[in-house]
Structure 1
């Protein structure tokens, strides 16, 4: 079997050369020269290898400063190719690769398809190498060895979960891989069910060993492993298993943060709602601030305080989704929102719209902040944008922040349990769980006018006070709540796919949205193809034998 240099780039690990910090709380930057093989099993070097496995979580795996093509937040993979967002930027030619993704013209040579694959398999490779070094280290603290092994299995479960939900049919390589050639494997060696079982096994093993709490922020806990296990069941439609798996999470010390807006402030990172997150930091000595939110560095909204990259732009459809009825419940109307319409208060925490104050900048957001207004409209992201007044925001290139990316938060787990309960016919519990999310939104501080005298918008939100008796309606209500609560957090497309409604929802969306935004005029979602990304051509071409089967339709 022949492996060319392209494959080596895709799978080569940098353990033993340098490691990169992934946490502002516990992983200090460590840069050192080449380490001889005899020294690699020294405990301190094993710990560095483990840190290296963590460091890839933010999607930055080389010196190219373009983790925006492999973002941990999945803003392009989860939002732009859904009904929640447009690519944005300076027209369709700016990062045209992502434009091709949003019109479903993706092919196996698309840059982002390759970069995301490379980042995630780099994570797998670093985990596997760290496992091998840990097992071979005779001097490693025996009391800590099992915990570090569990952390690595958690990380590997995460990387493979991401690969599975994006590419579906993937090669699976474990820690027995010792050479680069061992990573040249078939993507059909295991069935989909077998791949899920392997991912589950990593989270189950991690759950059995990880502690209830971690002294060092950013390391997974037992509940984080339990929550991720629940997510694997959810993606397979194993409703009873998903429901049961959320029980321990619901009964844990994690809880909803009181104010929805404060949840997304970097000074509140690792709060009681955040179950597992990518740890970001800035001004920590790391070259190019690669420990910051490097994958999201193109999302700044413009205006007088931010660079005008202008990507990840909320769709008109998403804006309209926040409209409510006179009863304060979702209106489920795709008629364009007007200034007088009542809206869910989460709208002005989630996205920037004209006439509404933006963060704590004492300024109204204006349509002209938005780059290429004619193409992408007047709205901008807001929820995960850090205030330009904050010490956690970098005012110079690469314009990143120290706001963590939340891979799993407790509010999401509540919605998972609500979904499983609805699917199992436990409609009253599903209603009560959704109401927990809505109650938090209702109790949160609403965005105020600049003088602080009144609400900035016509905010209304109420609970579902009538018992749910129709299962289909209950399932739809949970899905709607999931969209509103998790908007622009990178989850929407993957949820549509696992619900089995991506074709219907996205093509219905495009039918209307292309009349609003001409850049979508050639967009069309093909069922049975566009649910998953293609296997990168570079991987296929790099293997002499016909080991790889391309995904359907590519």
Structure 2
């Protein structure tokens, strides 16, 4: 395995222009840091900035962080039943097309770039930890806090690697020589890898402050929440209950009153957000690489996005159908194509664009005339994570980024993890209560309005008012709620894998979608293979046999 910053920390940790908004990570050009600077607090703080700066997936001067996106939209949405790749046909970013059709191999550009981005972050965190321990000028409280921050970031990057590739090498701050980076991805078992990830988050649960003046930095509750996520992925339900309770009972978090308001730059460090990747534009950084560079292919084109006619991450018909509700406001769940007159969960029109429904704050309704390659990818477009082209938060020149943060964990996550853990331990009533908290926000919040006034669709959503008939029924409700709440946020595929349902759900999805999208006829999800991406072949080659390929690639 080859890591790009093992030989010259001063070169790659200069970080002179990796700025993040809300006044965090705004550093003037610094040039290379000397040994003397790296021995003092002021110099080390610059190195710490560098560890944060790669959270958005941008690791070099190529504007292709969409191959290593922080949001995991290609790894977590396009590979699921929620989304099509989109863009200008199957040849546009064909590497992602291969991910969508499960024809990807070990030469995949995206598998390579994501691997590189995560290990870049890990190595920067490791180097920062070593420097923090040795530096002068720190009081011991701040020293411990900064180490915990770097361990949190390391845990975050390892979490991404674990859920995407499964079998990964583990490298910490004790790595001393170049050859120490060529380690096997089979040295640690899955249980041991998870324990390492847990330990990094556990460190923050006692050392990190309850609040941070700079919202980019994790808090004690960020650590508890990420630890809860690690427990959920391992089915450690009792531990997950403990961790989520810490956040719910002691953290100052709420669900934003209006679902759509959560996804606006004005609110993106609000009280629903537990940990986020910070984005910034017009901050003096070259090429606006501090913006949402990994998601820059999202603008849908048409008259309002001049020059940015990309149209990637297109909602699937299956996802659209999942928002249909009964007259009582509960999910229908039959995958019959949605009609304009059907009742729908109001989150549908905050999440995705439908013909004839107003689009953000634009003065006209969405039309399929705006979108790219209608014949291949259908009539729906992303809405939830787009910034209005009328907004100053969207950059009108290449690379067309915006400064909407990417929410790694929000409070709704924690509520639904608490519900899941409760249901899995037999407490379906507690699970129902937490699911209802999320549904209540969707019910009571603002609905999309017609340009002439009044609801833009038949919005009907209700809480589950009677106890679930069984644990299986409760789990079905929980799984659907996660899908409806977090659609197109990069989580769906990983949920299906951890639930052990990926092969069944995706192949059932493909059986129907192949009748609508001819390019999917080659797609088949292979159990025991496609749950994880391949280990990049060039990394295997560089490791001189230390790295082993995932099964069936």
TM-score normalised according to structure 2 size: 0.97
Q: SS where residue 409 of structure 2 aligns? A: strand
Aligned to 1:310: 311
Which runs of no fewer than 5 residues in structure 2 stay unpaired? none
Confirm or deny that 1:17 pairs with 2:14.
Answer: yes
Q: Distance in 1 between matches of 2:354 and 2:179?
A: 51
1:396 CA displacement: 1.5
1:399 equivalent to 2:409? Answer no
Q: Give 1:27 shift.
A: 1.5
**Aligned with 2:522: secondary structure?**
coil
Matches within 5 A, 1:121-270: 121-251=119-249, 252-270=251-269
Whether 1:446 and 2:447 are equivalent positions in the alignment is: yes
Alpha-carbon distance, 1:75 to partner: 0.6
Counterpart for residue 300 of structure 1:
299
Deviation at 1:493, TM superposition (A): 0.1
Q: CA deviation at 1:8?
A: 4.4
Q: Partners in 1 of 2:178 and 2:397 — Cα distance?
A: 38
Aligned residue in 1 for 2:496: 496
- Give, in whole Å, the separation in 2 of the partners of 1:24 and 1:300: 24
Stretches of structure 1 that go unaligned for 5 or more consecutive residues are none
Q: CA deviation at 1:39?
A: 2.8
Rounded to whole Å, the distance in 2 between the matches of 1:382 and 1:180 is 45
Residue pairs, 1:399-478, within 5 angstroms:
399-452=400-453, 454-478=454-478
Q: SS where residue 178 of structure 1 aligns? A: coil
Q: Which residue of 2 aligns with 1:483?
A: 483
Contact 1:10 1:121 in 2 (8 A): no
Distance (Å, rounded) in 1 between the aligned partners of 2:6 and 2:314: 33
Question: 1:117 is matched with which residue?
Answer: 115
Query: CA shift at 1:313, angstroms?
Result: 0.3
Shift of residue 244 of structure 1?
Answer: 1.7
Secondary structure of the residue that 2:304 maps to in structure 1?
coil
Question: 1:15 deviation in Å?
Answer: 4.2
Secondary structure in structure 1 of the residue aligned to 2:458:
coil
CA, structure 1 residues 179+18, in 2 after alignment: closer, same or farther (shift >3 Å)?
A: farther
Contact 1:209 1:222 in 2 (8 A): yes
**Aligned mates of 1:58, 1:18 — CA distance in 2:** 14
Partners of 1:155 and 1:216 in 2: how far apart? 15
Task: Supply the RMSD in Å over aligned alpha carbons.
Answer: 1.2
Q: Deviations over 1:325-368 (max 9, x none)?
A: 11110100211111111111000000001000000111100012
Q: Name the counterpart of 2:323.
A: 322
Contact between 1:29 and 1:286, CA under 8 Å: does it hold in 2?
no
Query: 1:87: which partner in 2?
Result: 85
2:96 maps to 98
CA distance in 2, matches of 1:382, 1:212: 33
Residue in structure 1 matched with residue 288 of structure 2 by the alignment: 289
CA distance in 2, matches of 1:11, 1:335: 53
CA drift at 1:36: 2.5
Return closer, same or farther for 1:272/1:204 CA change in 2, 3 Å cut-off. Answer: same
State the secondary structure of the residue aligned to 1:515: coil
Following TM superposition, by how much is the alpha carbon of 1:70 offset from its aligned partner in structure 2, in angstroms?
0.3
Aligned partner of 1:27 in structure 2 is: 25
Q: Deviations over 1:95-132 (max 9, x none)?
A: 00000000001111100000000000000000000011
Q: Which moved more, 1:68-77 or 1:248-257?
A: 248-257
SS at match of 2:85: strand
1:397: Cα distance to partner?
1.1
Separation in structure 1 between the aligned mates of residue 182 and residue 36 of structure 2, nearest angstrom: 27
Partners in 1 of 2:488 and 2:440 — Cα distance?
A: 21
Once the two structures are superposed, what CA deviation does each residue of 1:161-187 show, in whole Å capped at 9, x if it has no partner? 111000001000000113333221110
Checking the alignment, whether the CA contact within 8 Å between 2:342 and 2:458 is kept in structure 1 is: yes
Quote the Cα distance in structure 2 between the aligned partners of 1:297 and 1:131: 32
Residue 379 of structure 2 is aligned to residue 382 of structure 1: no
Deviations 1:150-203 (A, max 9, x none): 101111110101110000010000001133332211101100000000000000
Counterpart secondary structure, 2:80:
coil
Once the two structures are overlaid, the 10-residue window that deviates more, 110-119 or 394-403, is 394-403
Render the CA deviation track for 1:216-272: whole Å, top value 9, x for unaligned: 111000000000000000000111111121101111211111110111110011100
4+ runs deviating over 6 angstroms: none
Residues 470-511 of structure 1 deviation map (CA, whole Å, 9 limit, x = unaligned)? 110100100000000000000000000000000000000000
Partner residue, 2:342: 341
- Partner SS for 2:84: strand
Residue 484 of structure 2 aligns to a residue in which SS?
helix
Deviation at residue 10 of structure 1 after TM alignment: 7.8
Name the SS of the counterpart of 2:494 in structure 1.
helix
For the residues of structure 2 that align with 1:18 and 1:337, how far apart are their CA atoms? 49
Cα drift, residue 74 of structure 1: 0.6
Distance 2:119 2:373 in 1: 35
Q: Name the count of aligned residue pairs.
A: 547
Q: Is the 8 A contact 2:19 2:280 kept in 1?
A: no
Q: Structure 1 residues 309, 490: CA separation in 2 closer, same or farther (over 3 Å shift)? A: same
The separation in 1 between residues aligned to 2:118 and 2:185, in whole angstroms, is: 15
Partner SS state of residue 261, structure 1: helix
